[in-house]
Structure 1
Amino acid sequence: MTEEATRYDASNIQVLQGWEAVRKRPGMYVGSTSERGLRQMVFEVAERAVNEVLAGRAASVDVTLTPDGGVCVADDGPGIPIDETGAGPGLEALLTQMQAWRGAGGRHDVMLGLCGFGPAVINALSQRMTAEVRREGARWVQEYARAVAVTPLTEAGAATGSGTTLAFWPDADIFGAAEFSFDGLEERFRELAFLNQGLEISLTDLRRPDESRSVRLRFPDGARDFVAFLDGHAAASAPTDTIAFEHEDPRMAGMMEVAFRWCSCPGEGIRSFANSRPTIGGTHEVGFRDGMTASVTAYAREQGLLTATDPDLDADRIGEGLTAVVSVKLDRPEFEGSTLGVLGNSEVRDCVEQAVQDRLGRWLKKEPEQAAAIIDRTVQGARKN
């Protein structure tokens, strides 16, 4: 190989300016240029509206897949400020300037997008975006193309009510023929509604007039409803009562919501979340399993269901037939790795373990027949092996 072929210097470096960098490497911001990336675009735009509801400034979020391939996200909050305020940027800045990455946020802040750079990134990846703001009695509109304002921010008459409507059309040069998945969007929005009891989201698909679909997602019983939904999809048989509770613990600077029950179905299904983000493990999940194991083992020994020679019950055996949702919301969440998939706050483990052990212990004593069935199945399974 010649020296010329192997030489690497400043002339080999390509410097991308502004939104050119986003459009050149879209996967860094929305994960991919397939359907998965389109889904993340919706979440990134919907995030602000969802947080308006959770903050009590709006009542609901409406997401619509339009016949012309766009997505419309509307809320009935106070409306994005037209000009910059002490609380944040004005409308045009929000949609045309990349915001600083905000991290995982506190317990009251739901983060739906991958990158946290705000809706301006979605604008950059869209051939067109429109904004309508109804605020303080006036209606304001503006249109953009690839993160550049193509019309001035214009007052378009009086407004009825208040709120914000953002619509965008993904750039076909980037995403090709990929289409939004209604089912994929519904799954994540349903999770959010389960995990945040005051949240109401409507999702409507108008892309094919003869096959229009619409769902309204709101679940007043939170994690309890979530467990029933998960078990329903698994055709659960002979379920136990659902043990469900919410608990604030200052030691972890946050709160937990936990719901679980056993049925006769095989396998174990534990869904864990931290600040409404799905997790694949972490201290909250370990704490749940530890608390469950300690409580069931202690009860079994108290009732003589384990002999002196029997070892403590194993978490995997106890978890047979279990469906559980473990959700924590923390003021200062700490995650392992950039994907935020594993919760690392060490104090959360002890807090969740203690709360689960206490609640489950009381339930076992209150429901001896159901408790005996759970322990008998666990002990028999252990002895067979």
Structure 2
Amino acid sequence: MYIGSTSERGLHQTVFDVVGRAVNEVLAGRASAVDVTLTPDGGVRVADDGPGVPVEAAGDPGGPGLETLLTQMHPGEEPGGRRAVAMSLFGVGPCVTNALSSRLTAEVRREGVHWVQEYARGVALTSPTSAGPATRSGTIIAFWPDTDIFETTECSFDVLAERFRELAFLNRGLDISLTDERTPGASRSVRCRFPGGARDFVAFLDEQAGAPVHPDVIGFEREDPRLAGTVEVALRWRSSHDERLKSYANSEPTPYGGTHTAGFREGVAAAVNAHVRERRLLTETAPAPDLNVDQISDGLTAVVSVKLDRPEFSGSKRGVLGGAAVRASVAEAVREYLATWLERHPEQAAAIIGRITQDAGQD
């Protein structure tokens, strides 16, 4: 139950349970990068260059220690709040991956010592053992999913790359790479690092879509005490007719939307309609009728990401975000920013309004 299934989806969750700890080391400023490798012998190796997991055998008080992390269901509260990514389904972390692996090896380089420990199906084969001095720091966890448990133990490079790319778009400070060494002579890799954040995400989503109506991706990030968090939004209209809206709460996908997407749509509609009314762009007499949300969303690519100290989700799968304050704050932020942007970019604004009103049948 802790990984959702024993299919490929559950297999990938074992990877995410280990990667999540390393990602949060980067987001907390303790590491600079995460490297994930699919090895030729069917294993997965996750490495970071952080300070290294504390080791109980060394009397390290920095806890939770390595053995606790790999064997206990709740080694402590998973990093929470807006500055962390929760990749485990139930916050249990690497211990589940360890239990579901035929073999797992942990290497820790910390405070000048290189520590090694091995496990089989969650049971320690050795205590953490010093393997000599270390000139650098970091943690490497390599594991081999148990073939007696999983329907397949072959991870999909594309599925993992998509999720890591998504995390890097949503967290500007993240640098994560994925390398596939399973096919001799045909290694492939991808590095995910996007300083432009959600703007880069929209540009990426638009690569295979229709031509953009305006060159600039509109985007901003704002902190709001009412949210106890931040909102980041990016959007651009295209010549195609479908709406492409991706939404996230604390870097988790919200496929069924919620208050953040409702607020986004309200804010966009308010800004566009205000701009249209001020310039009498629909009719020669005021007040002009409002364009509806569906008309305005036609051809829109957008990313809406909120990061909250205390997110409220609806449903067991956390696919819908709640919170009335979220809706009001996102709507206000989008309305204010987009209204200003349209005012300051008259040529691009004219192209956007022309695209919307043409398809709305209003010339």
TM-score range normalised by the length of the shorter chain: over 0.9
Instruction: Please give the per-residue CA displacement for 1:344-383, whole angstroms capped at 9, x wherever unaligned.
Output: 1210111111111111111111222322332233233334
1:209 paired residue number: 184
1:233 to partner: Cα distance? 2.6
Distance 2:137 2:204 in 1: 34
How many Å apart are 1:309 and its aligned residue?
A: 7.1
- Say if 2:58 is the partner of 1:80: no
Query: Residues of 2 paired with 1:116 and 1:101: CA distance?
Result: 9
CA contact under 8 A between 1:72 and 1:165: conserved in structure 2? yes
**Which residue in 1 is equivalent to 2:18?**
45
State yes or no: 1:159 paired with 2:137: no
Matched, 1:196 2:168: no
Letter in 1 for 2:312: E
Does the aligned pair in 1 maintain the 2:69–2:75 contact within 8 Å? no
One-letter code aligned to 2:345: E
AA aligned opposite 1:340? R
| TM-score, reference length from structure 1 | 0.89
| Cα contact 1:101–1:116 (8 A) shared by 2 | no
User: Which residue is equivalent to 1:65?
Assistant: 38
Q: Match of 2:300, as an amino acid?
A: L
Is the 8 Å Cα contact of residues 142 and 151 (structure 1) preserved in structure 2? yes
Q: Residues 279 and 337 from structure 1, CA distance in 2 versus in 1: closer, same or farther, beyond 3 angstroms?
A: same
Q: Check whether the contact 2:64–2:75 (CA below 8 A) recurs between aligned residues.
A: no
* SS at structure 1 position matched to 2:336: helix
Tell me, yes or no, if structure 1 residue 372 matches structure 2 residue 350. Answer: yes
> CA offsets, 1:112-143, max 9 Å, x none?
12221111111111001000000000011000
Deviation, 1:263, is 1.6
Tell me: CA distance 1:100–1:317, structure 2 relative to 1, closer, same or farther (3 Å).
farther
1:180 equivalenced with 2:155 (yes/no):
yes
**SS of structure 1 residue aligned to 2:222:** strand
Deviation at 1:310, TM superposition (A): 4.9
Q: CA RMSD in A?
A: 1.8
Instruction: Among all aligned residue pairs of Structure 1 and Structure 2, give the percentage whose two residues are the same amino acid.
Output: 65
Q: Offset at 1:102? A: 4.7
Letter in 1 for 2:279: Q
1:324 corresponds in structure 2 to 302
Partner of 1:96: 71
Task: Find 1:220's aligned residue among 181, 189, 195.
Answer: 195
Correspondence for 2:92 = 117
Matched, 1:129 2:104: yes
Distance 1:336 1:101 in 2: 25
SS in 2 for 1:144: strand
- Counterparts of 1:58 and 1:286, CA distance in 2: 36
Output one character per residue of 1:224-281: Cα deviation in whole Å (capped at 9) or x when no partner: 1111101013253443421111111111111111111112122111111110111120
1:289 to 265, 284, 291: 265
Q: TM-score, normalised by structure 2?
A: 0.94
Query: Where is the helix percentage greater, Structure 1 or Structure 2?
Result: 1
Per-residue CA shift, 1:204-240, capped at 9, x if unaligned? 0001112211111111111111111010132534434
Q: Which residue of 2 aligns with 1:17?
A: none
Asked if structure 1 preserves the Cα contact closer than 8 Å seen for 2:212 and 2:236, the reply is no
Q: What residue identity is the alignment partner of 1:283?
A: T
The worse-fitting range, judged by mean Cα deviation, of 287-296 and 303-312 is: 303-312
The equivalent of 1:305 in structure 2 is 281
Deviations 1:169-226 (A, max 9, x none): 0000011444100000000000011111111001000011122111111111111111
Letter in 1 for 2:47: A
The one-letter code of the counterpart of 1:333 is: P
Deviations 1:28-67 (A, max 9, x none): 1112212211111111100000000000000000000000
Which residue in the other structure is 2:4 paired with? 31
**Among residues 261, 264, 272, which one is paired with 2:247 in the alignment?**
272
Give the C-alpha shift of residue 150 in structure 1: 0.8
Mapped contact 1:67–1:206 kept (Cα < 8 A): yes
Aligned residues: 357
Q: Tell me by how many angstroms 1:145 deviates.
A: 0.8
CA-CA distance at 1:153 after TM superposition: 1.2
Larger radius of gyration: 1
| Local SS of the residue matching 1:245 | strand
Listed as ranges, the gaps of 5+ residues in structure 2 are: none
Q: Which amino acid aligns with 2:273?
A: T
Question: Does the 8 Å CA contact 1:101/1:115 hold for their aligned counterparts?
Answer: no
